[in-house]
Amino acid sequence: MEALLPHLPRRTWTRRLTLAAVLSSVLLLGGLVYAFVNEALSAALEAATPYVEQGFEVREDNWSGEVTPGKPLLVQHQVFRGNEYWFWAGTSWPGATVRVDVFDSAGNGVALETFAEGPQAGARALPEATGTYNIRVITEYDPESPAAKEVGDIDFEGMVDWGLVYGYR
């Protein structure tokens, strides 16, 4: 099975195998239930929670995947002048951290405010023009961090998960 899934961290595919087994059981019982939980997105959504009370409406659609730590990711997204945006990023890999920044269509940094707290980060922008903005997500992994050491039995195989959500008001 490992040979079939060489590009995924062990924790990810063992989780997926468990998920597949659970789903198979559910299907055998006759119910069509999708029980997938994306933990990186959960971390991003958790970061978004305090802002919902400030009137930000968090979108259901999102971006997520797996990436080599240190390799920057660029998400391109249509924004509208007149709205205020927060982009929140998350990772669930023990020992991984994430940062997020916002750039306009010319590549200028436009985040008015950012935070990066371990596995969660956010960046706020107030677009000066309607158009396509660029959101950069960067993950890092520190095998010596307490979080990584705490789960030392998991072998790091070069990739961490990431998720990105956004809200507007």
| Contact residues: another protein, CB under 8 A | 32, 34, 57, 59-63, 65, 67, 71-78, 80-83, 99, 101, 103, 105-109, 111-116, 129-132, 134, 136, 166, 168-169
User: Closest separation between CB of residue 125 and another protein, Å?
Assistant: 11
Residue 13, token pair as written in the block: 């595919």
User: Closest separation between CB of residue 151 and another protein, Å?
Assistant: 26
How far, CA to CA in Å, does 49 sit from each of 30, 39, 71, 137, 161? 35, 15, 27, 19, 20
How far, CA to CA in Å, does 70 sit from each of 38, 66, 94? 21, 12, 15
Nearer to another protein, 20 or 129 (CB): 129
Nearer to another protein, 3 or 74 (CB): 74
CA nearest neighbour of 110 among 132, 143, 138: 132
90: helix, coil or strand?
strand
- Distance CA(116)–CA(124), nearest Å, equals 12
CA nearest neighbour of 168 among 87, 85, 91: 85
User: Closest separation between CB of residue 7 and another protein, Å?
Assistant: 14
Question: What's 143's DSSP letter?
Answer: T
Please answer whether residues 40 and 90 qualify as being in contact, where contact means their C-beta atoms are separated by less than 8 angstroms: yes
User: Closest separation between CB of residue 31 and another protein, Å?
Assistant: 10
CA nearest neighbour of 71 among 44, 113, 99: 99
Nearer to another protein, 93 or 133 (CB): 133
User: Closest separation between CB of residue 25 and another protein, Å?
Assistant: 17
Nearer to another protein, 3 or 35 (CB): 35
Nearer to another protein, 91 or 134 (CB): 134
